[in-house]
Amino acid sequence: MIGRSIGVLTDGGAGHLSADLINPLFAFSLNRKLRYLYDGNYFRFRDKSGEADYPASIPDMSEDVFLMRIYDQKEKFGYDKIDMAQPNPTLQPKLIHKDGLYRAEFSGAEYMTVEQAEHVGDNFNILLVAKADYPRPAFGIWGDDTSLTIEPSSEATSKFTVNRNRGGMTTDSLVYGCFYGLDPLQNNSRVMSINTRGHNVEDVPLGTPKNIAIGRSGERYYIGEVLEVVLHMDDLKQKWGDLLYNQAVEIYKDY
């Protein structure tokens, strides 16, 4: 077994990592341990030697490597651990290693899904670490009557959308912290908060989600990178979501 210290980010704070603040619905990361008690691998990959898990094995980057599965790090009573996966080899994103970070690279055709849409309601906090030139759905939740996207962009205004509600994202980093829910400080009005900045929006319910993916929302696909995504439900308040965002910004400040 190759040492876990190679290429693995850790949180230098009190020993707890980002998602440990409260149990998330899912927690996926290519580079760091998100749950304090989690002791499994981060992802499964396919290289020229076959399939293996990281960090138990290190990918051979001398040829193309593909990402097959990202392991769910959550530990939540009453909820199964369900991984983010793509079984079809032709739809698996490339795995890139650059500047000490593993990145899932999407070219407008690949995506990975997780079967947790039935648990998503009208109050949530999503933490995404991703990079793209123009706004396309790095993360999507959708169904017949609903659509949610987070769309990073370096060359235009990034977007966080929930049905008819659309917000341009102001960010100084490649971390996107998106909250959608009722805010007691705003007379329990629904707030759409982007990277600790919020505003009241029309109170439109999310609807009935059927799909969750990175690299896709409906028939729209993503071109760019994804490193990490964590989804908390209404048990995580807005202020704690802001705290998780600030933690992630510090950890990924050199990304």
Per-residue confidence (pLDDT) for residue 205, from 0 to 100: 78
What is the rounded CA–CA span in Å between residue 156 and residue 168?
A: 10
Q: Give the confidence band of 163 by pLDDT, cuts at 50, 70, 90.
A: confident
Closest CA to 92 of 2, 226, 218, 211: 226
98-151 pLDDT per residue, tens: 999 999 999 999 999 999 999 998 889 999 999 999 999 999 999 999 999 999
Which domains are seen in the chain, by residue range? 18-251 (2.60.120.200)
Closest CA to 238 of 168, 189, 205, 204: 189
27-56 pLDDT per residue, tens: 999 999 998 888 899 999 999 999 999 999
Q: Give the confidence band of 82 by pLDDT, cuts at 50, 70, 90.
A: very high
* 7-16, 163-172, 219-228, 240-249: least confidently modelled range: 7-16
Mean pLDDT rounded to a whole number for the chain: 87
What is the rounded CA–CA span in Å between residue 24 and residue 75?
A: 8
Which pTM does this prediction carry?
A: 0.90
Highest mean pLDDT among 17-21, 90-94, 153-157, 173-177: 90-94
Q: What is the DSSP letter of 119?
A: G
> Tokens standing for 223?
């071109």
Pair 211, 117: CB distance under 8 Å: yes
